[in-house]
Amino acid sequence: MLFSFGSLVSWADDAPQQSNVLILHSYHQGFAWTDELQDGLDQTLPKNIALNVHYLDSKHFQSLEYKDRLYHLYKTVFKNRTYDAIVVSDNRALELLNRLRPEIDRTPIFYTGIDSFQENEYQHLNMTGVYSPITAEKAIELIKQTQPSVKYIYVVTDYSNTGVQARESTHKLILKRYNDGVSAGQPKIVSLIPDDERSELHDLANLPPNSAIFYWTYFRNKAGQVNDIVSMKSLLKVANAPVYIDFDLNTDAENELKYTQGRELGELVAQYLQKPEQELPTPIELPSILKIDHGMVQKWNLKPAPGVFVFNEPKPLWVGHKNEIVMFFIYSGVFGVIILFMLKHLKRVRLSEKQSRQSQYLLETIYDVSHQNMGILDSEGRLLSSNQRLQELVYDPSFNREDPIWDYSGWAESGRKKMEQGFIEVRQKGIVRFEGEVNHSNIGPAVFDITLKQLPDFIGDGEQYLLEAKDITARKSTESRLIESESNFRNYYDLQPMMMVTLDKHNSIQSVNKFTSELLGYEAIEMLGHKLKEFYADNNELSARQVLLKPQKGHALVWRRDVRYITSDKRIVWIRENIRQILDSKELFIVGEDISESHLLAAKLDYQAHHDTLTGLYNRNHFEQELIVALQEVKGNLRSHVMYYLDLDQFKLINDTVGHEAGDAAIVYSGDILSKLMPPNSVLARIGGDEFAILLRDCDDAEIDTFAQMILKTLNNGQFTWRGIHLNINCSIGIRVIDYTAKSPQMVHAQADTACNLAKEEGRNRSHLYRIDDEHVRHREMEMECVNQVYDALAHDRIDLYAQQILDISDNPNGKMHFEILVRLRDQDNKLMSPGIFMPAIERYNLSYLIDRVVFKKTLEWFEQHTENIDKLGRCSINLSGQSMGDRDFIEFLIDLLLNTTVPRDKICIEITETAAVGNMREATHFFTRLKELGCMIALDDFGSGLSSFGYLKTLPLDIVKIDGCFIRDIHTDEMDYILVKSINDLAKQMGKQTVAEFVENEEILSCLKELGIDYAQGYLICAPTPLAELVERLTHSSEIK
């Protein structure tokens, strides 16, 4: 390096100039490229600009350590000093500035000599410059133009950083493009990376014929040594193929180019510094230049294509021998005067010679040299003379040269007539031209372009005419094929079942096919010359040529988009345009597919995805998406929204009494009423069979209940009529405020649903606002959570069988064990859930039949696996819910289960509550009868809780009556309970039925029951609920049953 860190820092203390410019060269001083460029800058930049010229010497130093030292060095420089502009040459300097972009900020940068320039790599720099866009791909194209017969192109690169980057950036692309096309006549591209001069000489001296060598970047060998110019020139001498290079060899012509490039860059800098407040000038693009040695051109007889620079070309004679030429012209001037006098004397002699040679020149030039069939005719049309080609054409032994030319037998009849007529017309017009056909014995039928021209009188004696006949048979054949091909293409073009349009460079319609004109409803002639954009339905739609400017992923030569067109009758059609620019032309070719039906279908599907089919309102899916947006809107606690959950009251009654068609009409009617009540910025959706949801944005506390009451009042006051039947429609509303307490759409939805259910429980046709501290709400949510746990327990088999002993307290106990099967559920932590919580939830949400299935199946399976306990079993009672009794599928399941079990059916007792039996009297009687036929026992649970219990004892086929615990728990203190239990027991005994007393919790109660003659006692005094296996084990070994 030619400077030190200390000197750099000292610059920061210098007095500021009018304009201060830093010039940063990538290479060392003395490198011809750099020196010529600097000379150009020095000659162009004004003297009032202070130039700070630095040389990085990255030709000799390329290590990462060296680059880091430069980075830290210039980082310090730019912290202590600013520049009005920075000039860089070659990639290394520009890469350094790119790393220092935070320090240089928006300081304008002027670059030149950048290889493989990638603008996106330096997008954060404020820069412009001068560049010569030579690329490897461009160089290969220039080689092909200069050397058309080339079959192999050897691309030579080195081990420098420039060589590595060049291979990584573009070499793969060029290899793929050309190597894949070898079979199509493209040259094969071969990459060479010589290790040293010896291997390089061997490679270049042993290349196959029709090869070319392209030195792309070649500055260092594998050992890191710099290749000097002398070595490079010696390599050129041994190569057995033309050598093209992309770098400099320090020739005078090349140095002149670098000097010019420096001047261009200097003018660009000076232009900016005159008005620095304006934007940077546009980068200047210099012509791309590929270089070749003049000796190579001569040796291989090459014709360099435009863009190929020939160096080492011999200087013109006047440049190398300037003084001698000047002296030559002086002497020539003197002798010229003398010669003028001599020429004047000889002029007369030359004039006579010229006239004598005129006829000879005419014959030699026109007859013998011309490639046309030529001859001279006399006034009668006879052939006076002809050139060799015409002689060969009309040679025929039968042809008499004294006859007119049109009597030649080789003429086709049409050709003969045209020739005779032409000869008549040429006398009047002086020249005529026509086409004539000849049938020649050697070449066959041929067509000639014939010209007859009258010659001047001085040419010969009498009238003479020049005959010229040009053979145009091949051209006519080609024209015929072209006409036929164009006709075929036009037919293909018109018959295509898709839109095809060609646009000129002004975006005007050049041609359209028949499908296009029929689709848009215009005649083709009406569309020609118009802009295609005039037929777009949207005025703001980009033109086809503007689309080509948009970035394209894949399909690099074809751009696709969907556009709406408008037809002559104002219909809208969707067209999928495929836009492609015609090669070597500015014309565009557009192929369009009518996708109107696809768009209509997509629009319909999108509508169906967000709307309810029956009412046309938004559906549940769309409402859930709106809820998600609403939750995002309230996160800042600056807004609050409200969700209303509406459920039509007694809607099932409409379906059952009037029909489902009326029910659908009622839902549509309700949706219309609600739609009219919706304020702006609200969302109404049908989210279920008879359920609607409303999202009211930015609703304050006073409006919450007001809006709900307006809905209730409007529905109540309205009257829905179906085929003459007047039906009243009302609803229950659950309200959930959407604020910071709302965590998810599902949570908001579920809590609004809970509030709606509470509104129904409170009497329907009213609203209920969800509050977190509401006891009813908490209880309902607990039940709903319990329902989820029940489902989870069923799915993961966390249902356990418990049992409670039923003690035989009669005078003659049979010693068998009696118990009632109870069910217990375990949660996800394997802890038992309280029956007081999950049993009400099961009953409320109609899940009893699922539990009943599991209990019956597990109980019978347990006894089938423990057959040793069956003999000691007196009776096993299993509860059956009223819901299960009304489920035909469950009844068939239970009957099938009982038929296929090995457990004796007379030991199985089915218990059902009095309320369930009375509520389904006919079904209960039928069901109990089937069970009795199978041998099962029937027990009526909670007897006495109904209103007409005694009457059912006569109707139902019962075996056991279980007296409701409400009469038992106070029997020892309440005389009325004592009398009622006694009456039930006496009546049951008289009807042949056994009795069981529940809720036996102390000895006093047990004494009363024995006194009354009750058969069995059940309660915590007798036994607490115990796991089935444990209870059976205990009862089996107890003295009570021994």
| HEC string for 374-389 | EEEECCCCCEEEECHH
Pairing of strands 572-581, 559-566: antiparallel
Best CA proximity match to 244, nearest among 217, 225, 220: 217
**164 contact partners, CB below 8 Å, separation of at least 6:** none
Question: Hey, which residues does 190 pair with through a beta bridge?
Answer: 154
What's the confidence (pLDDT) of residue 11?
Answer: 42
pLDDT value for 290: 82
Which residues partner with 466 through β-bridges? 376, 453
What is the chain's alpha carbon radius of gyration, rounded to the nearest angstrom? Answer: 55
Asked whether the beta carbons of 711 and 676 are under 8 A apart, the reply is no
Pairing of strands 499-503, 588-594: antiparallel
* CA dist., res. 349 & res. 189, Å (int): 65
Sign of the C-alpha dihedral computed for residues 139, 144, 146 and 150 taken in this order: positive
CA-based nearest residue to 509, from 521, 524, 489, 496: 524
The closest of 10, 23, 21, 8 to 72, measured between CA atoms, is: 8
Give the integer Cα–Cα distance in Å for 112 and 285.
10
Which of 961, 883, 895 minimizes the C-alpha distance to 927? Answer: 895
Q: Which residues contact 467 (CB under 8 A, 6 or more apart)?
A: 373, 374, 375, 376, 377, 383, 390, 405, 450, 451, 452
| Neighbouring C-beta atoms of residue 387, cutoff 10 Å | 19
Q: What pTM, to 2 d.p., does this model score?
A: 0.40
Tokens representing 791 are: 């489902």
Q: What are the chain's domains?
A: 5-132 (3.40.50.2300), 136-245+289-297 (3.40.50), 370-478 (3.30.450.20), 496-602 (3.30.450.20), 611-772 (3.30.70.270), 798-831+847-1041 (3.20.20.450)
Query: What does the pLDDT read at residue 552?
Result: 65
Interstrand relation of 243-245 and 211-217 (parallel, antiparallel or unpaired): parallel
- Pairing, β 682-686 against β 641-648: unpaired
Helices (H) and strands (E) in the chain, counts: 37, 39
Q: Which amino acid is at 388?
A: Q
Phi, psi of 943 (to 5 degrees): -65, 140
Using CA atoms, how far apart are residues 40 and 837, in angstroms rounded to an integer? Answer: 96
150 contacts 185 by C-beta, under 8 angstroms: no
What pLDDT was estimated at residue 298?
A: 86
At 239, the amino acid letter reads: A
- Give CA–CA dist 105/83, Å, rounded: 11
The set of residues, in sequence order, having a beta carbon less than 8 Å from that of 533 and lying 6+ positions away, is 507, 541, 543
b/e for 567-577, b at 16 or more Cβ within 10 A?
Answer: eeeeeebbbbb
Beta strands in 148-262 (DSSP E): 152-157, 188-192, 211-217, 243-245
Which residues have C-beta within 8 Å of that of residue 147, sequence separation ≥ 6? 212, 242, 300, 302
Tell me what pLDDT residue 255 has: 61
Q: What residues have CB less than 8 Å from 569, skipping those under 6 apart?
A: 521
Write phi, then psi, for 649 (nearest 5 degrees): -80, 140
Give how far the C-alpha of residue 889 lies from the chain's centroid of Cα atoms, to the nearest Å.
51
Rounded Cα distance, 193 and 197, in Å = 11
Cβ(752)–Cβ(785) under 8 Å? no
pLDDT at residue 403, as a whole number: 82
Which position has the token pair 């032309």?
A: 585
At 644, is the secondary structure helix, strand, or coil? strand
CA distance 1002 to 865: 36
| SS3 call for 629 | helix
For the chain (1042 residues), the mean pLDDT of every run of 10, in chain order, is 40 55 88 82 87 84 83 88 90 87 89 73 83 74 88 81 66 60 69 74 80 77 63 72 75 63 86 86 78 84 85 69 75 81 75 64 61 81 79 71 80 83 85 84 77 79 82 75 65 77 89 88 89 89 83 70 91 89 82 86 83 92 93 87 94 86 93 93 92 93 92 91 88 92 88 89 90 69 75 88 93 87 90 81 79 93 92 92 85 93 94 77 85 92 67 81 90 90 90 92 93 93 93 79 40
- CA dist 708 → 677, 693, 697 (Å): 11, 12, 14
